[in-house]
Structure 1
Amino acid sequence: MIKKYIILDTETTGTGDFDRIIQLGYMVLGSKEIEIHNEFFSSNVPINFAAMEVHGITPEMIEGKTACKESISYKRLLELNTPENYLIIHNAPFDIGMLEKEGFKTQMKVIDTLRVAKHIFPDEEAHRLQYFRYKMELYKEEQKEADTLGIKIKAHDAIGDVLVLKLFLSKLKEIILNQFPGENPVEKMVDLTATPILIKSFNFGKYKGKTLQEVALSDAGYLRWMLTNMENLDDDMRYSINTILGI
């Protein structure tokens, strides 16, 4: 069976526990022709203004649309949801979490390009998709790609971001081939997605800008306090503190 690569993005009513998907965009690669899905959905949850500011989807645009679970694109995604296929997302936990609210449980191998980027560009000042769109000059290539695929480019639009992610993925594969010669770049990205990230410095709190190594030498007790008392401590930060402290 031919492996398929599903590059996906969602737009939502917001980022809270009760928010839902109102746009699903994805491309399916792996066969001669690229399959493209882009649908808007109705929702019982109002679109909050902060979300509207980002993606520009207004209540009028989704009025009368089908619900996500009843849509053609969602049903097709269920058909593609098999272990030999790959689901590729920038910041995968968010979109997968939103899909789970619609009853979707991924069986695919997951590539989170955000985590991959954090591994291979550890000193980059940001890892957002739009940041790399400009840093890697993807914007110079995207119009030709959009014309070929019949896609309208719009920042923070699900299918527009999928197009940028397709270009970014190609760059990541080239870099991984150079950094990890002899390894399958796609499988390496799956591996990096599941590998903890070693964080070098604080970007929050009283030690913002300090490296974990510096804090370990000057105030190791604070790092131990974080491990014990911060219930919502990021998994990567927890891993990094444990590594620095030799736990």
Structure 2
Amino acid sequence: MALFVLLDTETTGAGENDRIIQLGYMVLDGKKVDVYNDMCSSDVPIAYGAMEVHGITPDMIEGRPPCSETDAFKKLCEINTPDNVLIIHNAPFDLGMLSKENFTSKMRLIDTLRCAKHLFEDEEAHRLQYFRYRLGLYKIEQKEADALGIEVKAHDAIGDVLVLKLFLSELRKRLEERFGAVNPIDKLVELTQTPVFNTRPLKFGKYKGKTLTEIAQNDKGYLSWMLGNMESLDEDMRYSIGRVLESV
């Protein structure tokens, strides 16, 4: 039977040199749930902006082993096989951080952020904490946390994994409504591999408030410039810009 690994990390920041300082995940094995949650040290200082988000301060990780030497990391490596499924909200970020620890996932991947963009396309945001409130998950999370011995804290790795577990159930419900009797894991993996075309107005730049299609009709060069110069663009935005440029 496949294991389902719901994972999140907290880090020193979001830059190229930043590293993991908390690795938290749950392993779902049938009805059994095992929780792994380790704080870890880093030679990279924690950015103040990161502290503001997750509340992890230098004294909290002082004397801790680096990520690759934690029990959580070693167990993750042990169960890293193609039979298992790795579930992350915004997977590219966490997988990128794990790659700095020389971890490359062999598991099937479900990125609940991309799946949410497919299945909850009309929502104003797709952040995990947004859905925590939008879907009322905060009303039921304490019962789940008590059963698993987890402390609920927003932007804490294992606290976010708890919300992810509850959100996954909502994704499966929406999946059934949309596609009927399909294998939910196979379909979520498929959606993870399918880029999302962005039809919403931009929230940044000189064409803020305009859709990509509207921009392409008046200034294709700007979209080409975005592709070549804005490294922060995610895969979905790059896919959307490329598709729009091909169509005009």
Work out whether the TM-score is over 0.5: yes
**CA RMSD across the alignment:** 1.6
Q: Distance in 2 between matches of 1:105 and 1:225?
A: 32
TM-score by length of 2: 0.93
Residue in 1 aligned with 2:142?
Answer: 143
Partner in structure 1 of residue 34 of structure 2: 35
Which residue does 2:215 correspond to in 1?
Answer: 215
Aligned-residue identity in percent: 62
Q: State the partner residue of 1:58.
A: 57
Equivalent position amino acid for 2:162 in 1: L
Q: SS at the partner of 1:73?
A: helix
Q: Equivalences for 1:153-192 in 2 at 5 Å?
A: 153-192=152-191
Shift of 1:226: 4.2
Q: For 2:244 and 2:15, how far apart are their aligned partners in 1?
A: 33
Paired with 1:138 and 1:236, the residues of 2 have a C-alpha distance of 27
Q: Which runs of 5+ in 2 are unaligned?
A: none
Tell me: CA distance 1:152–1:214, structure 2 relative to 1, closer, same or farther (3 Å).
same
Deviations 1:98-143 (A, max 9, x none): 1111110100011111111111222321111111100000000100
Pair 1:238–1:44, CA change in 2 (3 A): closer
CA distance in 1, matches of 2:13, 2:159: 19
Q: 1:14 to 1:85 in 2, by over 3 A?
A: same
Counterpart-to-counterpart distance in 2, 1:40 and 1:234: 28
- Counterpart amino acid of 1:119? H
Establish whether residue 242 from structure 1 lines up as the match of residue 224 from structure 2: no
User: Aligned equivalents of 2:244 and 2:82: distance in 1?
Assistant: 36
CA distance in 2, matches of 1:222, 1:16: 26
The separation in 1 between residues aligned to 2:226 and 2:21, in whole angstroms, is 37
Q: Distance in 2 between matches of 1:14 and 1:218?
A: 37
1:48 aligns with 2:47: yes
Q: Which runs of 5+ in 1 are unaligned?
A: none
Q: What is the distance in 1 between the residues matched to 2:244 and 2:140? A: 41
Q: TM-score, normalised by structure 1?
A: 0.93
- SS of corresponding position for 1:172: helix
Q: CA 1:224–1:44 in structure 2 vs 1: closer, same or farther (change >3 Å)?
A: closer
Aligned residue pairs total: 245
Distance 1:153 1:69 in 2: 25
Counterpart of 1:204 in structure 2 is 204
CA distance in 1, matches of 2:112, 2:96: 16
User: Structure 1 residues 210-219 or 20-29, which shifts more?
Assistant: 210-219
- 1:161-214: CA deviation from partner (whole Å, max 9, x where unpaired): 000000001000110111111321111111111111101132221221112232
1:103/1:205 Cα in 2 relative to 1: closer, same or farther (>3 Å)? same
Partner-residue secondary structure (3-state), 1:64: coil
Matched, 1:110 2:109: yes
The structure-2 alpha-carbon separation of the partners of 1:22 and 1:224, relative to structure 1 and needing over 3 Å to count, comes to closer
Mean Cα deviation higher: 159-168 or 193-202: 193-202
Structure 2 counterpart SS, 1:50: helix
